[in-house]
Amino acid sequence: MSEKKFYGLIGEKLGHSFSKEIHESLADYKYSLCPLTRQEFAPFMERADFAAINVTIPYKEAVIPYLAEVDPRAAAIGAVNTIVNRGGRLCGYNTDFDGVKYLLARHGIELAGRRVLVLGTGGTSKTVCAVAEALGAAAVAVVSRSGGAGRLDYAQAAAALDTQVIINTTPNGMYPHNGDAPLLDPAAFPALEAVVDVVYNPLQTNIVLAAREQGKKACGGLEMLVAQAKYAAELFTGRHMDDAVIDDIYHRLRRDKLNIALIGMPGSGKSTVGRKLAGLLGREFVDCDKVLVERAGRQISDIFREDGEDAFRRLESEVLLDVAGLGGRVIATGGGIIKNPANIRMLRQNSLLIFLDRAPERQALDAGRPLSQSTGDNMRLYAERYPIYTACADYRLDNNGSAGSAAAALAEYWQTV
């Protein structure tokens, strides 16, 4: 990289990061992801071979000794996420502070007078605590696995039943660990009003989904990520940008990262329509049943016959965890995937669920589908599953015509999402 020309992000693990896309949408510099091991970190900072960088886990506190100047707010927080190289002088800032404020305001989440639990103890936790104090929270408790030093452990946090807002700053549930259970169950807090998770990949972690199932306000961290990047880009370039750009980039990025997951009966056309839709949208197409057969080395009918339906459903869920963990795909799911509520939650993390509804008498029959080998089987299953399909779908499409017309209709609908 050319001296003093490097713009980018440093952190330990950056494979999940969306920052390159965001920054290159904000300004005309090239932005790079620069993963650093703990051993590589100090030499990188000593060379200071960059124009400006962002900093993420686990270096938001570790960078401070290398800085010639630290913005007063960042110094008070004790965490830096933005560094600008001004003629060899490294100047540190904390744009996460304004990113958190933007996220809270965007979702109407009030901290004034509220009792807040902040999960995690790193640099982002410090920033969130500073925001909560600035916004007038009644009480802020920091939660760590070991507790101590004025912190709660998770058992103590679970007993704080008067908690009104939970904010997760840990990597719990972050890709590729999408299946991790929440560190705290939102349903256990009778006074809870809202849950915020700074994790943005997946778009909705399990704690966000659990809170929404309880009817609470809840949001992931993508808007915070875009907002803090906008404020960092202003420092990088010295140019003011209107806050409207945050919402524009957020909506574009969200749609790019969302999967389109087709649910519906066996024989309803999910694979055929999905493949055509992926072609229209220029997306990768993944057929969960095909992946399952390849992984098992056996046909679905053989798995049912030799191991039983329970074994098949376990394998189906394992495949879904892998397939739906990444975004930007068109996914054809198995007909019975919705029988397990955990599968629905897994899909919701990164996907818009489309119910491809085809009348039972028009559904294709296939001897390889153990539960739907006749029209009578299809009618029975359809009656059983229809309420589940409609309850979990974000959109229902009548697929009693051609696959091409269904794909075209979905492509048109997608432009409105």
Q: DSSP characters for 280-319?
A: HHT-EEEEHHHHHHHHHTS-HHHHHHHH-HHHHHHHHHHH
Eight-class DSSP state of 42: H
**DSSP SS3 for 335:** coil
Q: Which of 4, 20, 60, 216 is catalytic?
A: 60
| Mean pLDDT of the region 114-132 | 96
pLDDT at 381 > cutoff 90: no
Phi, psi angle pair for 70, to nearest 5°: -125, 125
The predicted pLDDT at position 371 comes to: 57
| Mean pLDDT of the region 165-172 | 97
Hey, how many other C-beta atoms are within 10 angstroms of the C-beta on 15? 9
Phi, psi angle pair for 83, to nearest 5°: -130, 130
Q: How distant is the alpha carbon of residue 168 from its chain centre?
A: 13
pLDDT at 370 > cutoff 80: no
The runs of H, that is alpha helices, within 244-396 are 244-257, 270-281, 288-296, 300-307, 309-325, 341-350, 375-392
**DSSP SS3 for 43:** helix
| Mean pLDDT of the region 360-370 | 66
339 is an active site residue? no
The predicted pLDDT at position 377 comes to: 76
**DSSP SS3 for 33:** strand
The predicted pLDDT at position 368 comes to: 58
| Mean pLDDT of the region 115-132 | 96
The predicted pLDDT at position 353 comes to: 98
Structure token digits, residue 217? 């306000």
**Average pLDDT of the chain?**
94
The predicted pLDDT at position 362 comes to: 75
The predicted pLDDT at position 2 comes to: 41
Least confident of 48-52, 159-163, 236-240, 375-379: 375-379
In order of start, what are the domains of the chain with their CATH numbers?
7-93+226-239 (3.40.50.10860), 98-220 (3.40.50.720), 258-414 (3.40.50.300)
One-letter amino acid at 234 equals E
List beta partners, residue 11: 35
Structure token digits, residue 133? 């104090």
Q: Which residues contact 394 (CB under 8 A, 6 or more apart)?
A: 352, 353, 354
d(CA 231, CA 234): 5
% of the chain at pLDDT higher than 90: 89
pLDDT at 205 > cutoff 80: yes
Hey, how many other C-beta atoms are within 10 angstroms of the C-beta on 204? 24
Q: How distant is the alpha carbon of residue 216 from its chain centre?
A: 18
Q: What is the pLDDT of residues 289-331, one digit of tens each?
A: 999 999 999 999 999 999 999 999 999 999 999 999 989 999 9
- Nearest one of 47, 33, 127 to 90, comparing CA atoms: 47
Phi, psi angle pair for 195, to nearest 5°: -130, 135
The predicted pLDDT at position 151 comes to: 96
d(CA 11, CA 232): 16
* Reported confidence tier of residue 4, pLDDT bands at 50, 70, 90: low
d(CA 128, CA 59): 17
Q: What is the pLDDT of residues 218-256, one digit of tens each?
A: 999 999 999 999 999 999 999 999 999 999 999 999 999
Q: Which residues contact 380 (CB under 8 A, 6 or more apart)?
A: none
The predicted pLDDT at position 380 comes to: 87
Phi, psi angle pair for 281, to nearest 5°: -95, -5
The predicted pLDDT at position 3 comes to: 46
First to last CA, the chain: 39
| Mean pLDDT of the region 104-131 | 97
* Reported confidence tier of residue 1, pLDDT bands at 50, 70, 90: very low
pLDDT at 367 > cutoff 60: no
pLDDT at 410 > cutoff 60: yes
The predicted pLDDT at position 369 comes to: 58
% of the chain at pLDDT higher than 70: 96
d(CA 363, CA 357): 10
| Mean pLDDT of the region 46-74 | 96
d(CA 392, CA 394): 7
Residue owning tokens 């004790």? 78
d(CA 283, CA 327): 10
